[in-house]
Amino acid sequence: MTTTTDLVSYEDALASYDPVMGLEVHVELGTRTKMFCGCSTELGAEPNSQTCPTCLGMPGSLPVVNATGVESAIKIGLALHCEIAEWCRFARKNYFYPDMPKNFQTSQYDEPIAFNGYLDVQLEDGEVFRVEIERAHMEEDTGKSTHVGGATGRIHGALHSLLDYNRAGIPLIEIVTKPIEGAGERAPEVARAYVAELRELIKALGVSEARMEMGQMRCDVNLSLMPKGAEKFGTRSETKNVNSLRSVERAARFEIQRHAAVLSSGGTIIQETRHFHEDTGSTTSGRVKEEAEDYRYFPEPDLVPVAPSREWVEELRAGLPEQPLARRNRLREEWGVSAHDMQSILNAGAIDTIVATIEAGADAASARKWWMGELARSANESGKSLEDLSITPAQVARVTELVSSGDLNDKLARQVIEGVLAGEGTPDEVVEKRGLKVVSDEGALTAAVDEAIAGNPGVAEKIRGGKVAAAGALVGAVMKATRGQADAARVKELILEKLGVSEG
Ligand code: ADP
Ligand code: MG
Ligand code: ZN
C-alpha cells in the first residue's frame, strides 16, 4: 500500500498555522483480576483460558466492579490533580466487533470518576508546559483478533480470524486532555513529553507497568490546525493506538504537515481516525469518525454507581508518591548532575535502579556510572530493560563496595558484573569462582615487582636516573603477571620504593 500524501515542510506549516492537540491515553491496569469478573489478567496464557460467562457476555451473567480498579483510577485522578466524582456510573458504549463478545464496552461517558486536572511536563530545554486534563475514566479492554492468511496481518486479505478473549475485560483507564493550545512548533515535543511524564506517573503510582511496547499504554493523537491568530479550532484527525514515545512525536509532526498541505491548497480536513505506520512515519486514513450518539451510550443497569467516600479519597491522596518531575529535580540536585544527564538517565529508564542501588549502600556517582555505562550497554545488546537484567541493585551496590574497599579495581569489577549477568552467582561468588580479587598480598606483589625489575633492567635504570614516567612499563608488566588483579597505584609505589626514587 503506497499512497503518497502531500505534505508541506514543517517550518512552512508552522508559519501559517497553530496546531491544537488532544491526547487520549489508555492505560491497562496491573490488577490481578479483570475489571468486572474474577478472571486472571496474567499475560501469556493459552488463548481463551482466562474467560468466564461474564467477560464472554453470556446471558444471565452479572458483572461486579473490581475495587482495586476503582482505587487505581482514583489514584491516577488524584495524581493528575483532578476532582474525584462523589458519585458516578458506568455506561454501555454499544457497537459490534468480534473482539467484544458483549456487543458493548463497559465504559464511562458523561460521569467520569476523575475530571479537571493537569500534568506539568518538562521539555528538552527545561521549560515546563502545563497540559490540562479533561477527565480520566474507567473502562475495559477488548479481546484480541489475529487475522490469518493475508500478507499484512490485517483483516484485508486474511482467510480467517482467530479471537482470544483473555484480554477482554482487563481494566483500562482512559485519560483525556483538554485541547492543548499554544505549543506551536513544539506541539510534537509536548505530546511526547506528556506521554512520557504520564508513564512515569503511572509507574510511580504502581498501578501499571505502563510498558508501551507491550500495549499496556497507548495513545490516540488528535490534531487540528487553525490559521495563525484564529480562535475557532479546525477539524481534527485522530491517529489511533500510537505505541511508542517516538511515534507519538512523529505522528503529531506528520499530521501537522499533512493538514497544512490540505488546508493551504483549499481543501478540507475530514474528521476521521488514522493509522500510524512506524516504517514510514506516515499516517493513512482509517474510518470516518463516528459521533458519540452513534454509540447509544446509556447507564449500565447491571452495576451499582461508584460513590467513593471522601475519607477514602483523602486516604489515597495522603498516600500518593512524590510527583516524578519533582522527584527528578530533587534527585538531580542530590546527585549533582546536569539537566541533560538527568534526561539521559530518565530515557534509559535508570532512575529507580540507581535510587535502589544508592539505598543499598552505593554512592551516587558509582551507582550512576555502572547503570548508565556497563549495564546500559549490556541491556542494549540483549534488548532488555535495565530492570530485566539478571543483576539486582543490591548486587551492583556490593560491587561498588568491593571497588571502594580496594578489593576490586574497575576492570575486575566489570568482570564480576559480567559473571553475575551470566548467572554465575552473586558478586562475592563470582569473585570467588573466577578468582578476581585484587592481589593485595604484599608478599606476592613484591615478588612480582622484583621480577619485573629484573626482567627490564634498562627501564629500571631510567627510573633510577629520575625518569619516573618510565615506571608505567613496569607497572604494566606487574599487572600482566597478576592478570590485572593488582592495585596499580600500590604497584607503582612499590616499584619507586624499590628503586629508591620518590614521585616528587
Ligand atoms: P472522541 O471520543 O471522539 O475521540 P474525546 O472528547 O474523547 O472525543 O477526545 C477528543 C480529544 O481531542 C480530546 O483530547 C480533546 O481535547 C481533543 N480535541 C477536541 N477537539 C479538538 C480539535 N478541534 N483539535 C484538536 N484536538 C481536539
Ligand atoms: Mg477518541
Ligand atoms: Zn471473566
Closest CA to 33 of 143, 137, 171, 164: 171
Q: Which residues contact 461 (CB under 8 A, 6 or more apart)?
A: none
Q: Which residues contact 142 (CB under 8 A, 6 or more apart)?
A: 97, 99, 100, 105, 167, 168
Q: 21 CB less than 6 Å from ligand 1?
A: yes
Per-residue pLDDT of the chain (504 residues; tens, 9 = 90+): 445 788 999 999 999 999 999 999 999 999 999 999 999 999 999 999 999 999 999 999 999 999 999 999 999 999 999 999 999 999 999 999 999 999 999 999 999 999 999 999 999 888 999 999 999 999 999 999 999 998 888 888 899 999 999 999 999 999 999 999 999 999 999 999 999 999 999 999 999 999 999 999 999 999 999 999 999 999 999 999 999 999 999 999 999 999 999 999 999 999 999 999 999 999 999 988 777 788 999 999 999 999 999 999 999 999 999 999 999 999 999 999 998 899 899 989 899 999 999 999 999 999 999 999 999 999 999 989 898 999 999 999 999 999 998 888 888 899 999 999 999 999 999 999 988 877 767 788 888 899 999 999 999 999 988 888 889 999 999 888 888 888 888 889 889 988 888 765
- Hey, what's the torsion of the CAs at 68, 70, 74, 75, to 10 degrees? 20
Find the ligand nearest to 295 CA.
Answer: 1
CATH, domain range 442-499: 1.10.10
User: Do the Cβ atoms of 287 and 50 come closer than 8 Å?
Assistant: no
Find the ligand nearest to 38 CA.
Answer: 3
Q: What is the 3-state secondary structure (H, E, C) of 142-168?
A: CCEEEEECCCCCCCCCCCEEEEECCCC
Please tell me what DSSP assigns to residue 178. Answer: P
pLDDT for res 209:
94
Give residue 68 CA to ligand 1 midpoint distance, Å. 28
- Within 10 angstroms of residue 313's Cβ, the number of other Cβ atoms is 18
Nearest CA to ligand 1 atom 18: 22
User: Do the Cβ atoms of 114 and 77 come closer than 8 Å?
Assistant: yes
| Residue 343 grid cell | 534526561
| Residue 34 grid cell | 479483570
| Residue 479 grid cell | 599487572
Mutation choice for ligand 1 from 236, 259, 289, CB with most ligand atoms inside 8 A: 236
Give dist(CA 211, CA 29) in Å, integer. Answer: 11
Rg (CA), the chain: 30
- Within 10 angstroms of residue 120's Cβ, the number of other Cβ atoms is 15
Mutation choice for ligand 1 from 110, 116, 176, CB with most ligand atoms inside 8 A: 176
Give residue 108 CA to ligand 3 midpoint distance, Å. 20
Find the ligand nearest to 34 CA.
Answer: 3
The identity of residue 29, as a single letter, is L
Give residue 22 CA to ligand 1 midpoint distance, Å. 5
Atom of ligand 1 nearest to the CA of 23: 14
Q: Which residues contact 41 (CB under 8 A, 6 or more apart)?
A: 30, 31, 32, 33, 34, 50, 170
Give dist(CA 324, CA 352) in Å, integer. Answer: 11
Domain locations in the chain?
Answer: 10-310, 323-434, 442-499
177 φ, ψ (degrees, to nearest 5): -85, 160
Give dist(CA 347, CA 28) in Å, integer. Answer: 22
Cα-Cα end-to-end distance for the chain: 74
pLDDT for res 288:
83
**Sequence-separated contacts (24+) of 279-287 with Cβ below 8 Å:** 281/250, 281/254, 282/5, 282/254, 283/5, 283/237, 283/239, 283/251, 283/254, 283/255, 283/258, 284/1, 284/3, 284/5, 286/240
The identity of residue 208, as a single letter, is S
Q: 179 CB less than 6 Å from ligand 1?
A: yes
- Give the H or E element holding residue 461: helix 457-464
| Residue 440 grid cell | 593485595
- Within 10 angstroms of residue 280's Cβ, the number of other Cβ atoms is 12
| Residue 397 grid cell | 551496590
Beta strand 17-28 with 91-94 is: unpaired
pLDDT for res 125:
86
Closest CA to 136 of 79, 98, 97, 185: 79
**Sequence-separated contacts (24+) of 124-128 with Cβ below 8 Å:** 124/189, 124/343, 126/339, 128/325
Q: Residue-wise over 368-389: b if at least 16 C-beta within 10 A, else e?
A: bbbbbebbbebbeeeeeebeeb
Please tell me what DSSP assigns to residue 232. Answer: S
Atom of ligand 1 nearest to the CA of 178: 16
Atom of ligand 1 nearest to the CA of 177: 14
pLDDT for res 379:
94
User: Do the Cβ atoms of 94 and 304 come closer than 8 Å?
Assistant: no
pLDDT for res 407:
86
Give residue 179 CA to ligand 1 midpoint distance, Å. 7
Give residue 276 CA to ligand 2 midpoint distance, Å. 15
pLDDT for res 1:
44
Closest CA to 350 of 318, 321, 373: 373
Give dist(CA 396, CA 354) in Å, integer. Answer: 9
The C-alpha cell 506539568 sits at 120
The identity of residue 496, as a single letter, is L
